[in-house]
Structure 1
Amino acid sequence: MGLAALLVLGPILSVAQEKRAMEILQRTLAAYGGEASIYLLRQKGQLRGFVKVYLEDGSTREGEITIRFLHRLEKQDELRQIELRFPNAPTLVITYDGERVWGTENGAPIVLRLRTEAAFRAELKHNYETLLRYREYKAEVKYVGREKRSGIDVEVLDLTLPDGSTARYFISARTFRILHIEYDVAVPRASKPIRFRDSFYDFRVVQTTLVPYRIERYEDGRLVQEIRFTEIAYGVQIEEAQFRPPGS
């Protein structure tokens, strides 16, 4: 193929890929209940369930998890709080208050591990709702192509946020549900980033919007966490004060 043909073909492919990305995005938004459900219903909510942690020595720990969030449209961010309760262990709370990430054990302030804070911050940006809110976050979405994952045809999209951080989304070519997200997490003092993968299962409709009730997390290919939600509610009473550190 000559140089002239390549120069002509390049822009054509780019336009076609952009069009395909928009088609997939619109069908994905529709699968999750449409933009009205995403922007209006999912402004605040609470998710409860059970969490299972897979440790490096092969053992596991099981406990309860509660996630609270408050989406602030005017600031294009999301306040988030995760509460973890394990048997014979203090209650751990990790919170993003809009400025910083802080933690407590049984209400007493603690210094979070660098890896824990890095993973929490990454999850604030890289979750399945980020793709659904791509307009709000002014994200750039590119079509990568189609491939198979566990025998399922998936459409692959790359999402880039204004700060340059990226995530790859694997979307069912049949149902247009987001099945997996992959992204790298840079941990201070670590020699290289950790490749995270979040996989979503057991989709159910909650208040007109589609929600995964089971989420698995992998780090560099190893299963490290599984969450099974038992209760998900949107529009519950949640205030910004709930995300402030004790005594502030």
Structure 2
Amino acid sequence: MRFKIFTFTAVLLLSGVLAVSAQETADTKEVKDENVAEKFDTKKGLTNGVQVAEFAILVYSNIGGRPALSQIRKTTIEIGKIKSTNPDGTSVTSEYDQRIERAENLEKEKVRLNQRFPDAEYALVYNGNKVFGLYNNSVFTPREDAVSSFESRIWHGLEALLRYKENGAEVKLEKEETILGVTFYVVSVTDKANRKTTFYISKKSFRVMMLEYEENGIKYKRKFYDHNLAQGTLVPYRSVLWADGKIVEEKDISTIAFGQTLNDGIFDDPTASTP
């Protein structure tokens, strides 16, 4: 019953959101002709990618929409564990904490991932311009695979969908697909750098249950579990990543907090020249 009430409320809100969105086409971007604006029809259901994405935003913001996500998630502090599995089958578990300073889009976002392994501790930083590593406060150049994995969490994560408009991305409803009795909206999001992520969004709950992307000829799939509210926004506390059908990463969040003050210096490159 609670979900039905939520869905009805979301439909009303979404109708208003989409009616105002005269600058977007049925599948994506901005248009100049106001006559192509589509109003959401409850009888027809969701018929294009933008509608599905907007509905998902309402769900993840607990009806608050973009303003709520932007206000609540100005900063993020996330703590947990990551289990990484190597090609030879061996695995290693690290403790991590990730700090994010939200920006107007993902390109300008600042992200710092601190990882603690049994024999080492280091950080990877994206400062809105480039990725670099820090070890004992000294800068180093991370391995290519480490950078790729780190960047993929940024460009191919949930935020690619929830902030598609801010990122200037194209959104397309590819199809509806039923997997193991669950029907999904399959929505692709392609950003300005032509990075494409395909989201499997539950037609019932509008939660992202899985996403897919491809890099360097490798097909990746990430599934999301244990969705719970954190400060009024929806968060999947567990995710599992496959590469060409093999599990390569399992991530579990133990705590997550939004809106706390961060020291901006944690994102600085010590080797950068001061103007």
Task: Please classify the TM superposition score into its range, dividing by the shorter chain length.
Answer: 0.7 to 0.9
Matched, 1:93 2:117: no
Report the Cα distance in structure 2 between the residues aligned to 1:111 and 1:24, rounded to whole angstroms: 40
CA drift at 1:75: 8.1
Separation (CA, whole Å) in 2 of partners of 1:47 and 1:184:
26
Scaled by the length of structure 2, the TM-score of the pair is 0.77
Unaligned runs of 5+ in 1: 1-11, 187-192
| Aligned-partner Cα distance in 2 for 1:76–1:117 | 15
Query: Aligned-residue CA RMSD in angstroms?
Result: 2.5
Cα offset, 1:247, TM superposition: 5.6
Counterpart of 2:244 in structure 1 is: 220
Could you report, residue by residue, the CA deviation over 1:205-248 in whole angstroms, capped at 9, with x for unpaired residues? 01110001001111122111111111100001114321112465
Aligned residue in 2 for 1:197: 221
Find the aligned partners of 2:113 and 2:153 in 1 and give their Cα distance.
12
Q: Report the count of equivalent residues.
A: 231
Contact 2:105 / 2:166 at 8 angstroms: preserved in 1?
Answer: no
Gaps of 5+ in 2: 1-25, 29-35, 37-43
CA gap 1:238/1:197 in 2 versus in 1, 3 angstroms: same
Partner Cα distance (2:82, 2:95) in 1 = 6
- AA at the equivalent of 2:82: V
Kindly, what percent of the aligned residue pairs are identical? 27
Are the equivalent residues in 1 in contact too, given 2:27–2:173 (CA < 8 A)?
A: no
- The alpha carbon displacement at 1:150 in A equals 4.2
Q: What does residue range 171-210 of structure 1 map to in structure 2 within 5 Å?
A: 171-186=201-216, 193-210=217-234
TM-score by length of 1: 0.84
Question: Quick one: structure 1 residues 202 and 106, their matched pair in 2 at CA, closer, same or farther if it must change by over 3 Å?
Answer: same
Of 237, 241, 245, which residue of structure 1 is paired with 2:265? 241
Structure 1 counterpart of 2:193: 163
Does 2:77 correspond to 1:46?
yes
Greater strand share, structure number: 1
Quick one: which amino acid aligns to residue 203 of structure 1? H
Contact 1:204 1:211 in 2 (8 A): yes
How many Å separate the matches in 1 of 2:184 and 2:250?
22
Local SS of the residue matching 1:137: coil
